Chains A and B, each alone.
Chain A
């Protein structure tokens, strides 16, 4: 049967080849959208590592832009800002942090560990940042005042980075294999937290490191770029206003921008989801168009072959048999197109370009694309193949 179908398909190879290319191209479109959606979906299911509810980040900007000329001064001022915020009635906890969650800027570092390059994001943080963001410790402790007097700088790793550096999360007391920010001191692990994903639920998983900012000028990090503040649920704008007024009174030369994390999170979601949604809608229309076009092509093909199919009916083929033949021919073309598309697509993990895309995801997206394309192809084939059942052998043989 299949050999016979192949022969039939081969006879009309020129028009079938174009059809095949069209279906393969549709397959690639579905694959791209499915891969993007699956990628975001798989990120969504991973643990986040912090609590964004009822938390603000307060970004501090200094209009001088350049690095500060008076690091000691800035550091003292940074520490005073924190004291001021903590003193505002209604503030639950406050801490300093260079790159708060969901904020655009990040600090990326690369270390060579045993011949591999380990990439991670890092941020300075002060005491209490764990309380503000509800970070979950799995080993050791968060920064505390006792780290001030040490001859080394304290750092906290997240689970992923601890595993990358040491192969275990039980690494408290060990020295980080490299230095961050050209620090003069060695950097020693005091604690390990659960996976921490600064850029939120939809971002790629990554490694994270916090280094200790004490409020004294040291290691170039005079003050943090931002504060994070935990407030009671349902806090009014009045609290924001009170906090900003207090901050301005202490440091009139800086400007302060309060951004509640839930708002930053929502705008991140919009930024990630809008393009995928737009692509999805465009892809859906493309597929509808391809489906309609396929109906047209199959309809014409069936009409063109009335004589051939009529002859088969006259020779005793059943209606269902003919219907099945038409659908099987269609399936054959779709199968070949899907095969071509899959062969192209599975090359992706082989190239390192998309090391973001794990191979399970590629296979998942390919599978989804196969299902969608098969569905569309069969749906498009239903009407034309049904027409064949109405071919009357006598009419067909007359047909000219």
Chain B
């Protein structure tokens, strides 16, 4: 194995132009894939407030359907408040609104804030990083106290840096008191992201309390040892018992699943149920492999054209009894070493690209990072790429006829 690696490095150093071209192809391909993985990880990975994704079940969408009409959208408060409380196997559950853009005029400036209405439990199901102060509790929700939690960005825009707890500000015609400031949550984390969080009951009217389809979502933190399937089964049963007071609609549907499955079900075609995130994982892999196709083909062509270079070496090894398998292994290892080098270059480039993306503000509050999970995926993708692009040339080389190879004939 050691000698194989040595040969691999020697081969790489022999023809610098070819090594450069191959490395460029590998590094560029892996760069694009790694950046995509880092973005996916930023949305779904266990970090920030959503640090327990495997124990969290979410209810995002709801649909009312009848013979002639259909209404779908985010879940409604009425649906969630009738199904989520006192669910067996669930430690805590929360009902919260999807963020809404609200504007306010503050000292002659216009400030736009994504505002999310939540209950007090929200802060226990999701764990925010408080810079100062603390969250509001269920009492704030029960008494409709005019309090708010800000992220750092909103704090800076309203008050400038420095302590903000206890200060008041106006938002959408209401005066609110700051009780806490949290670190910015990336806007791609659409379950928790907001600039301002305030109690749900601080609403202008309580019409939202009845709606089955609306602009709310629910999340349940499973008790340790509880099974997700049991909880989502019980949730489905409860959804069936919710009365529908609109005669245009007959059935109400909603489901509780992990965030990844729930989001996957937005994209997967209708009819595929959301309990099979495997489908979307498969689609992602397919996209990745399709994207790898052209660079891999490029590398295959390059390697095939270089068989000549290696012909005499192959001839010698074959005449001394090396099996085809041994040769295939050798050339595959060479290609994987090359892919590995490209992977290292790609990792460095990815870190740079992600830093630029974070700085650019294209995705508000983005915190794309090259963490261990992403690097792990990088290693896996590198291996896949190395094998996909190396198998055919390796196989072709191993089949050279020894005599012909020694003479330099290779067709």
State the A residues within 8 Å of B (CB).
Answer: 12, 15, 18-19, 21-22, 25-26, 29, 61, 63-66, 237-238, 240-241, 244, 248, 252-255, 257-258, 274, 282, 285-286, 288-290, 292-293, 295-297, 299-301, 303-304, 400
Contact = CB atoms under 8 A, between A and B. Distances in A.
Contact of B214 (A15, A65, A255, A274): A65
Given A244-B105, A293-B299, A29 B294 contact: yes
Nearest to A399: B408
B231 interface: no
A274 B362 CA distance: 9
Contact of A296 (B17, B28, B204, B411): B17
Interface string B304-339: 111011000000000000000000000000000000
Nearest to B214: A65
B302 A296 contact: yes
A286 B295 contact: yes
A237 B110 contact: yes
A295 B308 contact: no
B294 A255 contact: no
Nearest to A66: B211
B371 to A, nearest CB: 23
Chain A CB within 10 Å — which of B100, B298, B308 has the most? B298
Interface residues of B, number: 45
Contact of B302 (A61, A241, A297, A400): A297
Contact of B173 (A64, A252, A289): A252
A344 to B, nearest CB: 15
A293 B203 contact: no
B293 interface: yes
Contacts of A300: 305-306, 308-309
A309 to B, nearest CB: 15
B100 A61 contact: yes
B272 to A, nearest CB: 20
B302 A293 contact: yes
Contact of B204 (A18, A63, A303): A63
Interface string B122-134: 0000000000000
Contacts of A238: 108
28 contacts: A12-B411, A22-B297, A61-B100, A63-B205, A63-B207, A63-B208, A65-B76, A65-B207, A237-B108, A237-B110, A240-B110, A244-B103, A257-B101, A274-B362, A282-B32, A286-B294, A288-B24, A289-B295, A290-B294, A292-B25, A293-B298, A296-B18, A296-B21, A296-B306, A297-B302, A299-B17, A304-B305, A304-B308
A299 B17 CA distance: 11
Contacts of A282: 32
Contacts of B411: 12
B300 A18 contact: yes
Contacts of B205: 63-64, 253
B47 interface: no
A255 B172 contact: yes
Contacts of A248: 173
Contacts of A274: 362
Contacts of B14: none
Nearest to B105: A241
Contact of B294 (A25, A237, A258): A25
A254 B101 CA distance: 14
B119 interface: no
Contact of B298 (A22, A65, A303): A22
Interface in B194-212: 203-205, 207-208, 210-211
A12 B408 CA distance: 16
A241 B408 CA distance: 83
B40 interface: no
B81 interface: no
A303 B298 CA distance: 19
A65 to B, nearest CB: 5
A2 B16 CA distance: 35
A18 to B, nearest CB: 5
The 6 A-B residue pairs whose C-beta atoms are closest, nearest first, are A64-B207, A300-B305, A241-B105, A293-B298, A292-B21, A22-B297
Interface string B210-221: 110011000000
Contact of A400 (B24, B105, B301, B408): B408
Interface string B26-49: 001000100000000000000000
Contacts of A289: 21, 24-25, 28, 295, 298
Nearest to B203: A63
Contacts of A241: 105, 110
Contact of A22 (B20, B100, B103, B294): B294
A376 to B, nearest CB: 12
A295 B110 CA distance: 56
A67 to B, nearest CB: 10
A367 to B, nearest CB: 21
Contacts of B108: 237-238
B9 to A, nearest CB: 19
B403 to A, nearest CB: 15
A15 B304 contact: yes
Given A15-B301, A258-B103, 6 more contacts: A26-B294, A63-B208, A240-B110, A282-B32, A296-B18, A304-B308
Nearest to B213: A65
A292 B306 contact: no
Contacts of A254: 204
A289 B22 CA distance: 9
Contacts of B109: 237
Chain A CB within 10 Å — which of B20, B21, B32, B305 has the most? B305
B305 A257 contact: no
Contact of B105 (A22, A61, A237, A301): A237
Given A25-B294, A25-B297, A255-B204, A65 B25 contact: no
Interface string B359-386: 0001000000000000000000000000
A326 to B, nearest CB: 14
A155 B308 CA distance: 76
Nearest to A253: B204
Contact of B211 (A65, A244, A297, A301): A65
A255 B102 contact: yes
A292 B69 CA distance: 57
Nearest to B300: A18
A301 B210 CA distance: 74
A58 B269 CA distance: 35
A96 B403 CA distance: 86
A290 B17 CA distance: 14
Nearest to B73: A65
Chain A CB within 10 Å — which of B105, B108, B210 has the most? B105
Contacts of A15: 301, 304-305
A293 B105 contact: no
B287 to A, nearest CB: 13
Given A248-B173, A257-B102, A65 B305 contact: no
Contacts of B408: 400
B298 A290 contact: yes
A53 B298 CA distance: 49
